[in-house]
A and B are shown apart, each in its own frame.
Chain A
Amino acid sequence: MISKRDNRVLRQGANTVAVVLALLTVFPLYWMVLSALKPKGEITSAHPRPWTFAPTLENFRNALGVSGFGRYFLNSLAVAVVVVVVSAAIAFLAAVALSRFKFRFRTTILIMFLVAQMVPVEALTIPLFFLVRDIGSVAPGFGLSSLGSLMLVNLAFSLPFAVWMLRGFVAAVPESLEEAARIDGASRFTILWRILFPLVAPGLAATSVFSFITAWNDFVFAKTLILDTDHQTLPAALMVFFKPDENDWGGIMAASTLMTVPVLVFFVLVQRHMVSGLGGAVKD
């Protein structure tokens, strides 16, 4: 039998290990922000120190001003916001169809949504490059080097997971509420918009994180489809800081910080819904 004292020692040990792991996990992020705030001399020093006594915003000013990161940031934001909003609306309707109705091919469609998540989307850059090039000759707003093309492509690749995840949230809403509304004479649209939508809103928030991340983090499509620098988004634009001889680490860390902050904020805001949402999405 484990004595009370041993038990306390075990618990202390577990606590220590957990704290050390937490610090190790968060350290790269700390290092990123710290390096972004360090003056130039300290970054290229051969003896880096985990602190700085002379924090400066110079790296951020350089990234935003000289390297045009402000522009890329806005491009990324535009793509991500459009993808999040449109994908949430479309996924909501599809999720209602798949969890509230029984119809032919329902299981087939569900499996297709599941399979779509497995497709290596990087391989699809090849046909998509030519598809977008051809679209561009008809509608330049969605052709190569347009933000529109990135919006469409990221929308398509965030939808399958969004539908799959949202389905769990819709299924969790008791049907009696809709039934009651129907008896009271509410139309289908009213039931969708006034009853289901508000109840599924937390799930939509959680789903949005994943759509946001898909669009915000996308590197391969931005690299392939955007050929002029003006319309580049953050991940691909970050590559301009890499130079064969000497990398501007201060600039890279400032740009990386700018790119990470929005995702972190989004995560912290909805993290409570996210975990339960994943459970709902996978366990149903």
Chain B
Amino acid sequence: MPATTVTARADQGDSPVRPAGGAPAGARRRTGPLARIPVPLWLLLPAALVLIPLFGYPLYQLGLLSVLKFGQPQASGGVPTEFVGLSNYTDVLGDEQFWTVLGQTLAFAAFCVLTTLAVGATCAVLLTRVGKWPRLMLMFGALGAWAAPAMTGSTVWMFLLDTNSGLVNEVLGTQGHNWMYDKWSAFAMVAVVVVWHSFPFVMITLYAGIQAIPDSVLEAARLDGAGTVTIFRRIMLPMLRPLLVIVVIQSVIWDFKVFTQIYVMTGGGGIAGQNLVLNVYAYQKAFVAENYSLGAAIGVLMTLILLGVTAIYIRSLRRSGEEL
């Protein structure tokens, strides 16, 4: 890896990773200023043209908004914007509701992640132990849940849980019970939908990982006298570690950012905002309370938290010997 980097740097990175002896013929046929731009930059240009104005710039604007006073009067252009430093942040951090929302976002995400992983991993192991038809059935069922849009997943489960004509109340004999009324009951129902949507990814990824462990390795361990538990702990877990890291981090990121399910199922954050999570909280502050800069500050804080998670992700990718 260092060796190739050195050679690539030597000729300004214009040649492929492993040049077949010197620069390829015809690579520098054209002259003029355009020909001096390395090929990979040309290939990245379209992506940059989309991402810089539509991703990078809004991200910068989000940061900018968070240090301005920017409400409805400023948005409609009547009043000039005003730099207020970190006062939006002190407002947010001084608001008791923010800490409540942050706490329940973390708790909700943690619960969803753990449940998703438990269900997904159990199903993955189960898949390796069953016959062909049960396996195909579970695979296709999971594929269906995976494919279902967050929106329709939410509507179907809302109907199943409906107070008057829902199947769940009929089966449990609890007609008239409103599952979304109590704060924790509502969170639990949304969590069910989130887990239903996301366990298939964990299941299919881990199942593929288990299948990829060579039989000879397991055979050798068995011949050496290793039991099922030892094989699982000492062989399967370490070999699955890179995949486990990926599914854990992906789940953390998804479940921390749940928006549609909460927004739709609890009607924008539940009774008196009892089911708010950070994402919905920022949205409501911006577009309902029309305090755009406060919403932006919450968005920045959320981004920082997720960047922290990403940093851990990249570090563990590198530690497990992945080449970026």
- Measured CB to CB, the residues of A under 8 A from B are 10-11, 14-15, 17-19, 21-26, 28-29, 31-32, 35, 43-48, 50, 89-91, 93-94, 96-98, 100-104, 106-107, 109-111, 114-120, 122-131, 152-153, 155-157, 159-160, 163, 175, 178-179, 182-183, 185, 187-188, 213, 216-217, 219-220, 224, 234-235, 238-239, 247, 249, 252-253, 256-257, 259-260, 263-264, 266-268, 271, 275-276, 278-279, 282-284
Q: How far is the CA of A216 from the CA of B65 in the complex (A)?
A: 29
Q: Is the CB of B307 within 8 A of A18?
A: no
Q: Is the CB of A282 within 8 A of B54?
A: no
B323 touches A (CB below 8 Å): yes
Q: Is the CB of B282 within 8 A of A260?
A: no
Q: Which of B47, B135, B298 has the most CB of A within 10 A?
A: B47
Instruction: Knowing A28-B157, A118-B309, A125-B283, say if A188 contacts B39 (CB, 8 Å).
Output: yes
Q: Is the CB of B134 within 8 A of A130?
A: no
CB closest chain-A residue, reference B192: A28
CB distance from B199 to the nearest CB of A (A): 8
Instruction: Knowing A126-B286, A267-B146, say if A14 contacts B126 (CB, 8 Å).
Output: yes
Q: Is the CB of A25 within 8 A of B57?
A: no
Q: Is the CB of B159 within 8 A of A100?
A: no
CB-CB < 8 A to B204: which residues of A?
275, 278
Mind listing 16 A-B residue pairs with CB under 8 Å?
Answer: A21-B138, A26-B141, A28-B156, A90-B47, A94-B43, A94-B47, A102-B4, A103-B13, A111-B314, A118-B309, A119-B59, A125-B286, A157-B55, A249-B165, A263-B149, A279-B205
B274 touches A (CB below 8 Å): no
Interface-located stretch among B17-25, B87-95, B106-114, B183-191: B17-25
Q: Is the CB of B156 within 8 A of A263?
A: no
Q: Is the CB of A104 within 8 A of B13?
A: yes
Chain B residues numbered 282-324 whose CB sits less than 8 Å from any CB in chain A: 282-283, 286-287, 292, 295-296, 298-300, 302-303, 306-307, 309-310, 313-314, 322-324
Q: Is the CB of A116 within 8 A of B55?
A: yes
Kindly state the interface size class of chain B when it binds its partner: 35 or more
CB-CB < 8 A to A107: which residues of B?
324
Q: Is the CB of A122 within 8 A of B259?
A: yes
Instruction: Knowing A94-B44, A101-B17, A263-B149, say if A126 contacts B62 (CB, 8 Å).
Output: yes
CB-CB < 8 A to A90: which residues of B?
46-47, 50
CB-CB < 8 A to A188: which residues of B?
39
B69 touches A (CB below 8 Å): no
Q: Is the CB of B39 within 8 A of A101?
A: yes
- For the residues of A in contact with B, the DSSP-based class is helix
Q: How far is the CA of A254 from the CA of B111 in the complex (A)?
A: 32
Q: Is the CB of B65 within 8 A of A224?
A: no
Q: Which of B175, B287, B300 has the most CB of A within 10 A?
A: B287
CB closest chain-B residue, reference A246: B164
Closest 10 CB pairs of A and B: A123-B299, A103-B13, A127-B61, A97-B43, A156-B54, A102-B8, A25-B141, A256-B152, A18-B134, A97-B40
CB-CB < 8 A to B155: which residues of A?
32, 238, 252-253, 256
Q: Is the CB of A219 within 8 A of B208?
A: no
Q: How far is the CA of A43 from the CA of B246 in the complex (A)?
A: 42
CB distance from A49 to the nearest CB of B (A): 9
Q: Which of A29, A179, A252 has the most CB of B within 10 A?
A: A29
Q: Is the CB of B126 within 8 A of A131?
A: no
CB distance from B3 to the nearest CB of A (A): 11
Q: How far is the CA of A252 from the CA of B5 in the complex (A)?
A: 57
B238 touches A (CB below 8 Å): no
Q: Is the CB of B156 within 8 A of A235?
A: no
Q: Is the CB of A284 within 8 A of B322?
A: yes
CB distance from B105 to the nearest CB of A (A): 11
Instruction: Knowing A46-B175, A279-B208, say if A114 contacts B58 (CB, 8 Å).
Output: no
Q: Is the CB of B303 within 8 A of A103?
A: no
Q: Is the CB of A217 within 8 A of B50?
A: no
Instruction: Knowing A104-B9, A124-B62, say if A256 contacts B156 (CB, 8 Å).
Output: yes
Q: How far is the CA of A110 from the CA of B317 in the complex (A)?
A: 13
User: Which listed residue (B51, B143, B159, B303) contacts A35, Cβ 8 A?
Assistant: B159
Q: How far is the CA of A257 from the CA of B314 in the complex (A)?
A: 39
Q: Is the CB of A22 within 8 A of B138?
A: yes
Q: Which of B13, B307, B322 has the most CB of A within 10 A?
A: B13
Q: Mark B139-177, 1 if CB is under 8 A from A, else 0.
A: 011111111111111011101101011110010000100
Q: Is the CB of A46 within 8 A of B164?
A: yes
B221 touches A (CB below 8 Å): no
B272 touches A (CB below 8 Å): no
CB closest chain-A residue, reference B259: A122
CB distance from A109 to the nearest CB of B (A): 7
Q: Is the CB of B296 within 8 A of A26?
A: no
Q: How far is the CA of A268 from the CA of B136 in the complex (A)?
A: 13
